[in-house]
Structures are given as C-alpha cells and as structure tokens.
Structure 1
Amino acid sequence: MSATAFSAALRGAISTSGLGLDRIQARLQERGISISVTALSYWQSGKRQPERQSSISAVRVLEEILDVPAGALLGLLPPPRPRGASSRRRLDEPAESGGVIAAFGFEEDASPALVGLHDLCDVDAEGRCVMVTAKAVLRAGTSGHDRWVLRYRRAEPHSRPPTLRASRNCTVGRTSFDSCEGLLLAELLFGHGLDNGETQLVEYSLSFEDTDSAAHQHFREFSSPVPEYLVEARFAGNTRPERSWQFSHPETGQPETRPLRVDNGNTVHAVAVDFGPGRFGIGWSRPG
C-alpha cells in the first residue's frame, strides 16, 4: 500500500512531537490502548491503515498525544479496504457481531452466557505477562449447551498463539488463531449437556512463550454485559512496578483509567461489575 494523506500527516505529527514510537506506544498503553510499535510504523509508512474500531479509537488518542486538532488524523483515513468472505474475514469481525462464533459453524446462542470471570496474570521480573490462569462461570440459556467458545485477543498483534491448557471441568476442542489480529478462538468442551439455567465452572490457562512481545497489560473484550470480572496481576519475587492502573473502554462512552495500589501480596487487582460491551483491563509500568 502506498503512502496516503493519513500516513503522511501521522508521520509529520510524530516528527514534530519529538516522540519515538516506543514512547508513543507507552503513552497509548497508559490509556489502555494496545497498539504495537510495528503497527504504528506501518501506519506512518502507509503499509497499513487503521480499520478496526479499536484502531480508530487509538487514532483519536494519538491526536491528543501528538497535540494535533481533533479529527486532523481521523478525517484523513481512507475507506476500509474490502475483504473477502473467507474464514479470515470472520475472525476479523468484532466479537459483538457473532462472526467468531459462526467461524466454528454454529449459532451465537449455542454458547452459554458468561456470568463471572477471574483472571490471574503472572508477571515476570521484566514486567511481562507470561501466563494467565482463568476461572469462568457460565450459565446455560437453554438445555443442551455442551461447550463454550473462548475468545481471547492478545495485546500485541502479529504475535504467536498462546498455549491453551484446560485444567478443570473442560477439555480443549477446535482452536483457531489469527496472528494479524492476535485473536484466539477455542472451544472448551464440557463433556455433557447443561440443563436450562444450569451453571458450569471451568478453569484454563494461557501461556505466552514469545515473551519478547509479551505486553505489560492484560484485558478482556466483552461483547455483552458481564456481571463480574476480576483481574489480578501477580508480580514475581520482590519486583513491583512503579505504576499500575486499570482501564475501561466501553463501546459507548468515554474511556476511563485510574491508578491501582500494589498490595502486600505483591499483586494489583481491579473489578468490573455489570460491564460491557467493551474492553476492561489493567496495565503496569516496567519494574523500577
């Protein structure tokens, strides 16, 4: 893709700001925006353009960081490029569209509702999230639910898929990973059908072997309101970040952040109640 008015304006704004791409990425991350340095480089060179809603939101924040008038960059974005009707396209669709469910060949209501989720992130001495242990509580809306489709998006696109392990009340079925989007889809199979209104507690873990690209944040995207989401980050040994914060990006409304305090167990946590659709998570700086 050749240079566009958007890429030229972004490149000029970055040059004028005097900020490096690493610093811009860090400032975006402080506001709960996950954009890799590679993506920023592609945007300013014209190799790629922001298209997903999360990328459009990032451009709005970029305008503030680079101190350019609101709309100065957004107004230059060309129309989204057309895509085919392949399974890759379905994976690119936002979670709220139901397209990711269709990618596995069944309807949205074939998966039970998420009513509670607890994520525990293990963070190494370099501040990188190396594993997430998750407990999910699911409720069947009709009889017969026998699986749940996990949708997990990595903070860093163009990364390798995490290693998924089922540890309680489920086994791993079909999986698919879109490396460009950093999106993992996986079936967690219960081994039996649920009755209408019955709940199922499942536990699983996600390990990240490519720690060079492991992010200093963790978040979940919810396509519908979830009654409770608890997320923790546990820091290795005596290391702790200089700063940590929670962030929320509701589908409608303004993004919000607030600082978090590291507790005596060397962890930080945040809780979202009746949150969604949108993105909620926590971030932390590199250990001092």
Structure 2
Amino acid sequence: MARERYRFNTPAGRVFDVANVVVLSVIGLAAVLPFLYVMAGSFATEAELSRRAFFVWPEEWTLESYRSILSSPAFVRAMVTTVLVTVVGTAIQLLLTVTMAYPLAKKSLPGRNLVLGMVVVTLVFSAGMIPTFLVVRELGLLNTYWALVLPMAINPFSLIIIKNFFQAMPPELEESARIDGATDVGVLLRIVLPLSKPVLATFTLFYAVGIWNDFMSPLLYLNDPDMWTLQVFLRQVTAGAEMASGEIDPNYVPPEQGMKLAVIAVATLPVLLFYPLLQKHFAKGMLIGSVKG
C-alpha cells in the first residue's frame, strides 16, 4: 500500500490525476448540460425558447407548459398507463426470473445443463422483430398490455447473474432451514430472497427502466391510440402532432416548444428519482454473482 501511494505522489501520477479529472468533468458536463437545458426550457416562455438557443436558467419562470400537458387527457392517460405497465411488468419479470434462476442454481437439478445451454444460446441468437411480432399476433396478444411484458418476461443475462448469486450462497443456510422443516418455497422466501436484496434491487431497476423507456413494443403491438404509453406519446408530441387539451377556452394556444420539453422532463424524471432509492444496492448487485459460473 505504501508503494502504491508513493507511485501516485510522483509528478507523473499527479498529471494523470489531473487529466482524469478534466476528461471526466468534460464527459459529465456533456451528459448533464442537455438535461439542464430541457429542465430550464420546460419552465421558460415560448418567446425565450425561440430567442435563446441554449440556456440553463430561464429569464422568466412559468408553469404554462406543465399546465398544458397536465390538462391533456391523452397525456394523463399515457402517464397512468406507463406507470401501471411498469409496476406490473417489473413484478412479473422479477418473479419469473427468480423462480427460474433458483432451481437452476442447484447442480443436482436434472437437465440443468441443457436448460442453461438453451439460455446461453438466446444471448447470442434472437428471433428478431418480425418473428416475435408473428408469435405475439398468433397468441392473441396484439392490442393488449400483455404484449409489452410477456415477450421479454425473462432476460437471459439477468437470469444468469441471479442464478450465479444464488449459487454462491453457503449451502449450510438452506440445509439448516430444511432441518427446521422448511420447504423449497419456504427456503426461497425466508432465507434466499432476504439475503438477495442487492441483486434483486439491481435488476428491479433494470427491468423498470427497460419497460418505462420501451418505445418499440407499444409502437408495434398497440393499435389503439388510447392505449399508448408515455414514450409513444412523447414521439407524437416531439414530431409535432396535435395534443388533445382539456382547455375550455377555444382561443388558447399551448406553448409548443415548452410543451415538448415538459413532456421529455416528465418522462425522464421518474427514472432519475427511482435510481437513488436503489443506489446503495446497485454496485454490489452488479459485482456479486458475475464472477462465479
């Protein structure tokens, strides 16, 4: 340890540290500035948006853009739909992944290697968009919310990581539980899952963000505009399509540019607010289970 500290106290080490800080700061600003502009623009007036190409602090604050989108039945419907699909879809995906990963973590399971081989194959080869669409259509899932959840109910990568996490647990924990009379389901619920909070929190985040940001599935499988999720609605707004408004005044002209930025902000903020809740488990969940096979 003393040798490592001495190495980074050399002039070359200090130059390396400064270069790291500069490069990472530039990358961080490149990632943060567009989001700051979106947030600032959503609170700015239309006149300021047309006059200033870029800013991170509006000259005049207004909630007109948010008032416009919140008064739109189409936006409220898309928001509620996306929240419900995300919550239900995440629960289903996590349930199916855990219940498949737990038995595959047992080396004594008959046919285990065959099933794992089939899972690994899906990491390399996928059916593609058209075959998946044909399967969804033949199953009668078109124009239903199940089409947004079931085709990607189990992610092979997530399954393998969670399986490795379960497999790395000391077998003595399960043996002691079985001596006390616990069944396989009891061991899973009372022993394994409480000890798996880091990996479960990590993939809850992955699944939730994936469903929330999913654009292609609603676009392909939902034909009814009243069933569209927030991402498809966002595409309609940013493409310039008219948004139904609940305003009573027929002469009301909604702020077009500010409304687009407000919808983007609303579609982005829930994910950013959800991440800090699981952050303490995130790094540990990604590292544990990814080393052992």
TMscore range, shorter length: under 0.3
When normalised by structure 2's length, the TM-score is 0.21
When normalised by structure 1's length, the TM-score is 0.21
Who wins on radius of gyration, i.e. which is larger?
2
Higher helix proportion (structure 1 or 2):
2
Higher strand proportion (structure 1 or 2):
1
